[in-house]
Structure 1
């Protein structure tokens, strides 16, 4: 896999196919139908090919894992093992989700769960993992696990600041010394050479929040040398620390200094203090783009974010040293009083106790707000939050401290969505409807319902633009020689079923989905035992990984 700034590599299949088509065009003849056999022929649909072109009547021919041709009236030219009637359906590239939290599904010991149905039923064929700075440096080991066990969607992975920093510094709130920084750089370089698509950071979250800009730049340089992208859950989407505007400026500074494309995860203006800030953020990003910096962002179409209650309310200094250190600080009266005061301010910033809806299965507060629990327990909202934060979670019951935080203003959401450099993403994790319904929610609410963007833009920013941004080879468009990741959905039925109260309901309206030419959704139902997803590895430029990763000067 190469980044979009590098020339695309044509596969042997694609070159042969182009040669055949060129000869046919020059001779004025088409191949005889008897000589053209394909596995699947999708006929009668309206094709949006992912290239930001208008929809058109066309058929799609698939052989093996590749698209053979996209053109009208292919039924008269190909013999197909199977013909799918797509009359009345939209046919498009499988959607690409560049920001996901799918571990419950893709790492399950059960093959049926690894099909990754929450994403398949949205029409998603490719997901990115390791986001928010959480990606393992052991990229090759992770890829081998997926290839051995199988997965329903394609998977691309980042290396994350969090695991890299923890392996060297633990949870300490300090800068690395030169030797420690060198270890971290070498880990990032090695991960890039194993196929990571870039470096991801989650600078809002401890212990990543303890990293200063210089540390981030140093690691981003290693990804830049090897053709990667810098993806960031930026340091502040609100007014917690440096502020939203300065946080965006920090992300752009990393891009300029490390000479790396910048991708801002789930762009938003979070909390009452920064509502109405979208215009200023857009202006700064547009200025950077005009100056030649590659800057993109992704966005989920919901007014509530999803995060940990501790991340939403606790001050970062209180988390220095990890959970054990936090609990010890809460036992000290003076320190506890300081923590409580800052939590009161963070609760105000988030919109109050009524704005924090507890999510996650298996807990008595699931589906209820912090305000509800404060009333039930007859305590102050901060005390209720601390009671929940003190509760240990288990892998079986899920996270006990997750919240849907209603903190965004609709005008900011719409302003960001209209930008041509903002991609569709889910940020999908357990307990929030965005895991099951982000793509259909965007379509139903903002394309059909409110007309914020049109269908062509929705598809382009969910497919072709995403593939180009991250250099996914031969994906994101319906073109001859490209991988056959294809969705066919009913424009009248494509809609979310999940809600904040019932977040785990499969979306509706995807009639067919193929991943690498294998059907994973058939007539609206999941195909049994289909695990055709592949690991999409980034391929660094020649010489940057040979004989061994070399740190920048």
Structure 2
């Protein structure tokens, strides 16, 4: 018999035996000769979210999958987890979207974060958007005393996680005050030490606001020297660039400066609230994108963030006053205004800046409780019988020259929709609110982007929206174990209704909470539960970990 014939006969013989072996346990059980198999024990979870359309934070399509949470961590992610886990609480997410909690890398939350009222420190404007982590110290405003800041916030408690930058503004002011001058060698060394110490205390990088005085007085070389201290310790350079319009070196010149700082200091560059501000630079988004793409091709790490609004927000003084006029701070400004010749020059420069902003009709006063509140600069000027520049100087006189002076907060309608769309389509542009008091972006940025740019106009798709609000943001800034729905990651988990997730705030009513977030967990604790804010402060102060050997 051939070898093949023997193999065929053996196969024919073994098939019934294999069938009998499979049936034997059941036959023995029926005959009373064997015990039934012990049931598989289910692992214990605190919360099981099942049946939702899950996006894990990567740049991929959603899938029907479950999330199991135990303590402050994600225990498992996958299909049919109810067969593997017994949960204290189950949430049926059928018809809902499940995603990592959103990360907002650019916020102005001081009214809430510094409040003595625990209810304010829940940070409801962000929680009701689905945000579980915010960044502070942006626009160059972060204190160098990062450890003390962290201790204070941890003791008080917050609703979201908080990550901090060290800012060029406080660093420079601590050494040079408000003066427009270059530091000497000793002063620069002191500033570098402040940045280095802050990085060692957990700052995620150096933030600069080169548009704002006194930071605007810093040279590129000064910023490079400080950025190197962040680079050594694994940080990023986050910049409100020197010019988003045509105030000084121009938008393209400002982008070049930002890239130069990153290149010379050897660290990633992140451009805050990227835009083309004002009629002088409308239509420039393509050129900015091409320049950044060229930097990518040369091996440079460059990202940006963006808010989905056509109006920016700042103070009237920052928008209109020439920088030379605020050298030395507010007292020096009013001394200059007392001199007729200098005052005339200030007014001429202010008229040029007002034109860049689109005129007095394009500036809405958003600070509350003032005679000009909720009126355009032109409307207030007409009502007061003043020229718009004189009206602006009156407001500045009563409201201060700083960026956060509530009396002179403005919404400045200065962007063009095609530029906004083009920036948004770029895979390296993240979502950020730049949320501060008086502008709807504080309460409604993420749902505005979803409702208008994902659902209505389909500028980007849902997967891209979630990825650039979660995983890409976490990766860009080095947030360990956050931004993704993965086993072992922190349980920052969002569940929202895709049909109801929408902004409710607008420019006239900027403080209305958004709708559609059904559940939000921060470190495994429910902060939004069945659509309602919980009385919980589970947020943590996140800490950057510099490479070994770079800190004492």
What is the TM-score normalised by the length of structure 1? 0.92
Q: How does 1:109-508 map to 2 (within 5 A)?
A: 109-392=116-399, 399-508=406-515
Structure 2 residues without counterparts, runs of 5 or longer:
1-37
Count residues in correspondence. 514
Q: How does 1:50-61 map to 2 (within 5 A)?
A: 50-61=57-68
Distance 1:170 1:394, change over 3 A: closer
Residue of structure 2 in register with 1:25 after alignment = none
Cα distance in 2 for partners of 1:251, 1:545 equals: 26
Cα distance in 1 for partners of 2:405, 2:141 equals: 18
Cα distance in 2 for partners of 1:364, 1:129 equals: 31
Cα distance in 1 for partners of 2:445, 2:85 equals: 36
Determine if the alignment matches structure 1 residue 63 to structure 2 residue 63: no
Residue of structure 2 in register with 1:533 after alignment = 539
Cα distance in 2 for partners of 1:95, 1:33 equals: 36
Structure 1 residues without counterparts, runs of 5 or longer:
1-30, 547-553
Cα distance in 2 for partners of 1:220, 1:370 equals: 38
Residue of structure 1 in register with 2:98 after alignment = 91
Q: Do 2:330 and 2:401's aligned partners in 1 also have CA atoms closer than 8 Å? A: no
Cα distance in 1 for partners of 2:62, 2:185 equals: 55
Q: Do 1:38 and 1:81's aligned partners in 2 also have CA atoms closer than 8 Å? A: yes
Cα distance in 1 for partners of 2:356, 2:528 equals: 43
Q: Do 2:104 and 2:433's aligned partners in 1 also have CA atoms closer than 8 Å? A: yes
Residue of structure 1 in register with 2:107 after alignment = 100
Give SS of 2:41's match. helix
Q: Do 2:440 and 2:509's aligned partners in 1 also have CA atoms closer than 8 Å? A: yes
Distance 1:393 1:337, change over 3 A: closer
Structure with higher Rg: it is: 2
Distance 1:32 1:283, change over 3 A: farther
Q: Which has the higher contact order (CA 8 A, sep 6+)?
A: 1
Q: Do 1:34 and 1:79's aligned partners in 2 also have CA atoms closer than 8 Å? A: no
Cα distance in 1 for partners of 2:39, 2:183 equals: 66
Give SS of 2:406's match. coil
Give SS of 1:252's match. helix
Cα distance in 2 for partners of 1:507, 1:48 equals: 21
Give SS of 1:232's match. strand
Q: How far 1:106 moved relative to its partner?
A: 1.0
Give the alignment partner of residue 549 of structure 2, picking from 543, 547, 550.
543
Q: How far 1:398 moved relative to its partner?
A: 6.6
Q: Do 1:361 and 1:398's aligned partners in 2 also have CA atoms closer than 8 Å? A: no
Cα distance in 1 for partners of 2:338, 2:272 equals: 36
Residue of structure 2 in register with 1:6 after alignment = none
Q: How far 1:294 moved relative to its partner?
A: 0.4
Q: How far 1:34 moved relative to its partner?
A: 2.5
Give SS of 1:400's match. helix
Give SS of 1:338's match. helix
Distance 1:260 1:378, change over 3 A: same
Cα distance in 1 for partners of 2:167, 2:324 equals: 21
Q: Do 1:33 and 1:76's aligned partners in 2 also have CA atoms closer than 8 Å? A: no
Give the alignment partner of residue 82 of structure 2, picking from 71, 75, 79.
75
Cα distance in 1 for partners of 2:405, 2:451 equals: 30
Q: How far 1:33 moved relative to its partner?
A: 5.5
Q: How far 1:87 moved relative to its partner?
A: 1.1
Determine if the alignment matches structure 1 residue 47 to structure 2 residue 54: yes
Q: How far 1:471 moved relative to its partner?
A: 0.6
Q: Do 1:33 and 1:79's aligned partners in 2 also have CA atoms closer than 8 Å? A: no
What is the TM-score normalised by the length of structure 2? 0.92
Give SS of 1:79's match. strand
Determine if the alignment matches structure 1 residue 512 to structure 2 residue 519: yes
Q: Do 2:367 and 2:406's aligned partners in 1 also have CA atoms closer than 8 Å? A: yes
Q: 1:102-131: CA deviations, max 9, x gaps?
A: 010111101111000000000000000000
Cα distance in 2 for partners of 1:32, 1:73 equals: 17
Give SS of 1:458's match. helix
Cα distance in 2 for partners of 1:290, 1:81 equals: 51
Q: Do 1:426 and 1:438's aligned partners in 2 also have CA atoms closer than 8 Å? A: yes
Q: 1:115-158: CA deviations, max 9, x gaps?
A: 00000000000000000000000000000001111100000000
Q: How far 1:392 moved relative to its partner?
A: 3.7
Give SS of 1:191's match. helix
Q: Do 1:198 and 1:230's aligned partners in 2 also have CA atoms closer than 8 Å? A: yes
Cα distance in 1 for partners of 2:226, 2:474 equals: 24
Indicate the RMSD between aligned Cα atoms, in angstroms: 1.3
Cα distance in 2 for partners of 1:337, 1:32 equals: 87
Residue of structure 2 in register with 1:24 after alignment = none
Give SS of 1:357's match. strand
Give SS of 1:53's match. coil
Q: Do 2:318 and 2:401's aligned partners in 1 also have CA atoms closer than 8 Å? A: no
